[in-house]
Amino acid sequence: MGTRLKDKVAAITGAGRGIGRAEALALAAEGAKVVVNNRTSAKGGTPSDVPAADEVVEEIKKAGGIAVPNYDDVSDPDGAKNIIQTAVDNFGRLDILVNNAGILMDAQVYKMTDEQWEKIIKVDLYGVFYTCRAAAAIMREQRWGRIINTSSQAGAWGRFGQGNYAAAKEGIVGLTRVMARELGPRGITCNVIRPRAGTRVSLSPETQAAWEREGRFDYIAQSKMLKSEDVAQFIAYLCTEETANINGYTFVVGTDGIGLYREPEPPFKMIYSSQGWTLDLLLEVMPTTLADGLVNPAPPKTT
Amino acid sequence: MWTIKDKVAIVGMGCCKFGENWDKGADDMIIDATYEAYEDAGMERKDIQAAWVGTTVSGAGGITIAAPLKLDRIPITHVQNFCATGMETIRSASFAIACGAYDIVLCVGYEKLKDSGLAGLPAGYIHPVLGVNVTAPGRWAMGAVRYFQAYGLSPKEGKETLAKISVKSHYNGARHPKAHLRREVTLEQVLNAPIIAWPLGLFDCCGNTDGAAAAILTRADMAKSFRDDPVLIKGMGLAIGPSLGKEDGAYDYIHLPETEVAAQQAYEQAGIKNPRKELDILELHDCFSISELMTLEAIGICPKGKAKEDIDAGTFTLKGELPVNADGGLKSFGHPIGASGVRECYEVYKQIQGKAELPERQLKKEVRLGLSHNQGGHPGSLLPIVTILGRKD
C-alpha cells in the first residue's frame, strides 16, 4: 500500500469494470478512500444480484484499502448529487472526482434516433456536469480538489458512427477547460484524459468482428495490449500534490505512450479584407490561400 | 535464337552470415563470402581473370572489392540495378564468359546497411512530383489491396494468405545457420503485427540486413576440371519496362508484366515448356510477402488469381511439391540489397549439388533445375532478373 494519496477521498463513476475499476483500485492502493460508483451488475447491462461496485469494493478491502459502493445513475441530477453525498457521509469530505462513466450507442447521423442522441448526451455529458457541479461546491469550500474527466479519441479523430458520443466527449473538453479557469483560484485542478485501453467499450465483440473482417488484426492486438491499469496510474499521478500546475489540459493516455494535447490556438493562417467579403472575392482568393493544400479526409467514392 | 544455356558454369559460391553485423564491415563480409567461394571452387585469388561487384549504397567502383581481396590489376566492373544488383553481377559476368572474353571470373554482391545511417530502403533520386510520399512497402501495399479486390479476397482472407507466406519463410530461415532472422513465427503473430502499410505488417516486410555473397563462374567446357558437380546457367531474362505503371490507366497493379517477360526469356533459353512441372526449387525475391505471391503468378507457376489455393495447400513449403525460398528468402534470410541476387543463386546452387547448408536442410526430392529471381522496383515500375540454374545434363 502506498501513501501518496493518504486521507484523500475520491469518487469514481463507472468504476465497476474497465478503466474505472482500475482507477478505483489504483487510488485506493495509494491510500485514498474511494466511493466506487457503478449502476449495473458485474455482467453489465441491467442491475442484478451482484452489483459490479460491490465486487470492486470487496477487492479494495481485501487489499487493505477503504471503499464504499454507490449505485446511482450519473445522468440523474439527484443520483449524481448522491454520489458526492456518499463520499461526504462516509468520509466527511471529497478531494478527488474521476468521471469515467460512459456508454456508446453507435449510429450514423442520418439515421440516428432521438433516443440514441439523447441517451448518450445525457449519460456522457450531462452526467459529467451533474457530478462536477456537486463536487465543485464542496471542493471550493475545502480549497483543494482534483477533477479528472474522461473524454475520448472518438471526437478528435471524427470516428465513424459515433456522432453522439463524439459530441458528448468533445463537450467534456470544453466544459473542463472552463471549469479549470473557474476553479483554479480555489486550488482545484480540472483535466481531461482521452484514454486508450482495450475495454468493453472500446473493444466490443462488434468492433472486434468488424476489425477482423477488415483484416485489421493489428488494431485488435494493439487494443488488447493497452491496459486500463496504465491509464489508472496516470490518474493517480494527476491526483497528487505535485500536479498543481496541470490545470485545464488534455492528455491522451495509453500503455505505450502519454501525450499532451495542444490547446486550441488562434487560426494559424488568416486572410484580411477592408471591405468585407463577397462570394466572388472568396472564390478568387480562397483557393490560393486558406483552402490551399487542404485535403478532404473522406473524399467522395467513385465506386 | 541465341541462348546462354550451358555456356557458363558456376564452380564456386560463398555467402557470409547475414544479419545485423555490427562487428563487421563490408570488407570483412566480402572476404568471408569470397574465400568460401575460392575454397568451394578449389581456386585462389590469382586464378581470377576479371571481377564484377554489385552494391547499391555501400560503395562505388571496383576498388570496393579489389582492396579487401587484394585483386591485382584485373578488370573489375561495378554494376548497380536497384535491388537486382546482385544478380546483375552474375548476368553481366556470364555474358563476358559466353562471348569468350574471360575463362574465370568472380562476382561479389554486398551491402552494409547497419551503421551506415540508413533506416530502410535508400531513396536515391526521387522525382519531385511523381515520387513524393512513395515508399517501397506503400507501393507493394497498393498492389496487395488491388489484388485482394480483383480476385475477391476479403481483407481477412487476403491478410491471412500473405501471413502464410511469411510463416513459411520464417520456418525455412530458422533452419539456415546463415540467415538473419532465425526465429519461427506463428500465423497469429504475423496477423497481429503492427502495420507498415496496410495490408503489409511488420512480418510482411523483409529484413534490413548486412551481408555479402560471391560466385565464381567459368566457361562451361572447363568447369569439370574444377569440380564434378558444377551448376550451369540454363537461361537468363531481364526485362525493364518504361516505368509507366502509375501513369498508365490500363495498368492494374495486380500483375507484374516485366517479370512475365523476364521469365519467358529465361524459359525459352532453357527450353522450359512447363515451369511448374520442370522446376524443382524456386528462390523468389520476396521483399514483401505480396511480391512472392504476385511473382508466383507472373512466372507461370500459378494461374492468375489462384496463388492462394497453392499457398493454402502448402505447395511451396519445404516438403511441398515446389519449395519456394527454402533458405527463408529476403523475409528471413535478410536483404542486403546488393548481395540478395547472388544469395538467391547460392541456395539453388547448393540444393542442385545436394550440398545444402546442414544436411537436414537438403530437399528430400531430386533437384535438377531451379529458378532464382531477383528484382528491383515495385508494381508498375519493375526491374526483374530471372536465372535458371541446372545440372550438367
Chain A residues near residue B198 by CB distance under 8 angstroms = 215-216
For residue B335, what pLDDT is reported?
Answer: 96
Q: Are strands B231-238 and B381-391 parallel, antiparallel or unpaired?
A: antiparallel
Instruction: Kindly determine whether residue A212 and residue B192, on different chains, have CB atoms separated by under 8 Å.
Output: no
Residue B282 placed within a domain = yes
Contact A60/A71 with Cβ under 8 angstroms?
A: no
Q: Is A208 on the interface with B (CB under 8 A)?
A: no
Q: Is A215 on the interface with B (CB under 8 A)?
A: yes
Chain A residues near residue B154 by CB distance under 8 angstroms = 213, 215
Rounded to a whole number of angstroms, the distance from the CA of B203 to the nearest CA of chain A is: 12
Query: Is the pLDDT reported for residue A31 higher than 70?
Result: yes
Residue B63 placed within a domain = yes
Q: Is A266 on the interface with B (CB under 8 A)?
A: no
Instruction: Kindly determine whether residue A213 and residue B155, on different chains, have CB atoms separated by under 8 Å.
Output: yes
Query: CA–CA separation, A226 vs A214, rounded Å?
Result: 21
Tell me how far apart the terminal alpha carbons of chain A are, to the nearest angstrom. 60
For residue A43, what pLDDT is reported?
Answer: 62
pLDDT tens track, chain B, 393 positions: 899 999 999 999 999 999 999 999 999 999 999 999 999 999 999 999 999 999 999 999 999 999 999 999 999 999 999 999 999 999 999 999 999 999 999 999 999 999 887 766 655 566 777 666 678 899 999 999 999 999 999 999 999 999 999 999 999 999 999 999 999 999 999 999 999 999 999 999 998 999 999 999 999 999 999 999 999 999 999 999 998 888 888 999 999 999 999 999 999 999 999 999 999 999 999 999 999 999 999 999 999 999 999 999 999 999 999 999 999 999 999 999 999 999 999 999 999 999 999 999 999 999 999 999 999 999 999 999 999 999 987
Helix (H) or strand (E) holding B195: strand B195-197
Which residues of B participate in catalysis according to the annotation? 83, 335
Contact B194/B235 with Cβ under 8 angstroms?
A: no
Residue B288 placed within a domain = yes
Q: Is B137 on the interface with A (CB under 8 A)?
A: no
Residue B14 placed within a domain = yes
Q: For position B41, which CATH number holds?
A: 3.40.47.10
pLDDT band at A83 (very low <50, low <70, confident <90, very high): very high
Q: CA of B156: which chain A residue's CA is closest? A: A215
Contact B380/B141 with Cβ under 8 angstroms?
A: no
For residue A47, what pLDDT is reported?
Answer: 56
For residue A195, what pLDDT is reported?
Answer: 96
For residue A155, what pLDDT is reported?
Answer: 82
Is-cis flag, bond preceding A264, omega within 30?
Answer: no
Count other Cβ atoms within 10 Å, centred on residue B27. Answer: 17
Contact B193/A218 with Cβ under 8 angstroms?
A: yes
Q: Which of B159, B164, B204 has the highest number of chain A CBs within 10 A, making it the mutation to test binding with A?
A: B159
Higher pLDDT, A118 or A48: A118
Instruction: Kindly determine whether residue A212 and residue B154, on different chains, have CB atoms separated by under 8 Å.
Output: no
Rounded to a whole number of angstroms, the distance from the CA of B134 to the nearest CA of chain A is: 18
Instruction: Kindly determine whether residue B192 and residue A218, on different chains, have CB atoms separated by under 8 Å.
Output: yes
Query: Is the pLDDT reported for residue A48 higher than 70?
Result: no
Higher pLDDT, B117 or A12: A12
A-contacting residues in B 201-230 (Cβ below 8 Å): 201
Q: Is A216 on the interface with B (CB under 8 A)?
A: yes
Q: Is A225 on the interface with B (CB under 8 A)?
A: no
Q: Is A212 on the interface with B (CB under 8 A)?
A: yes
Q: Is A7 on the interface with B (CB under 8 A)?
A: no
Contact B25/B64 with Cβ under 8 angstroms?
A: no
Torsion-angle region of residue B300: left (phi > 0), alpha (psi -120 to 50) or beta? left
Q: Is A303 on the interface with B (CB under 8 A)?
A: no
Instruction: Kindly determine whether residue B192 and residue A213, on different chains, have CB atoms separated by under 8 Å.
Output: no
Query: CA–CA separation, B287 vs B284, rounded Å?
Result: 9
Q: Are strands A145-150 and A96-99 parallel, antiparallel or unpaired?
A: parallel
Q: CA of A220: which chain B residue's CA is closest? A: B192
Q: Write out the three cell numbers for A118.
A: 439523447
Contact B315/B271 with Cβ under 8 angstroms?
A: no
Rounded to a whole number of angstroms, the distance from the CA of B223 to the nearest CA of chain A is: 52
Contact A191/A247 with Cβ under 8 angstroms?
A: yes
- Can you give the residue range of the structural domain that contains B18? 8-116+206-391
Q: What separation in angstroms does the CA of B286 have from each of A175, A205, B278, B283, B375?
A: 53, 35, 22, 9, 9
Chain B residues near residue A218 by CB distance under 8 angstroms = 191-195, 201
Q: Which of B132, B149, B156 has the highest number of chain A CBs within 10 A, making it the mutation to test binding with A?
A: B156
Indicate yes or no: pTM above 0.90: no
Q: Among residues A130, A165, A249, A272, which one is catalytic?
A: A165
Instruction: Evaluate whether the domain defined by A9-260 bears CATH number 3.40.50.150.
Output: no
Burial of B327 (0-12, 13-18, 19+ CB in 10 A): buried
Count how many domains chain B has: 1
Query: CA–CA separation, B12 vs A190, rounded Å?
Result: 73
Positive or negative torsion for Cα B8, B12, B17, B20 = negative
For residue B123, what pLDDT is reported?
Answer: 54
Instruction: Kindly determine whether residue A218 and residue B155, on different chains, have CB atoms separated by under 8 Å.
Output: no
Contact B218/B232 with Cβ under 8 angstroms?
A: no
Q: CA of A212: which chain B residue's CA is closest? A: B156
Give the start-to-end residue ranges of the domains of chain A.
9-260
Q: Is B159 on the interface with A (CB under 8 A)?
A: yes
User: Tens of pLDDT along A189-232?
Assistant: 999 999 999 888 888 888 899 999 999 999 999 999 999 999 99
Q: Write out the three cell numbers for B299.
A: 512466372
Residue B126 placed within a domain = no
Instruction: Kindly determine whether residue A215 and residue B154, on different chains, have CB atoms separated by under 8 Å.
Output: yes
Instruction: Kindly determine whether residue B155 and residue A216, on different chains, have CB atoms separated by under 8 Å.
Output: yes
Chain centroid to CA B105: how far?
20
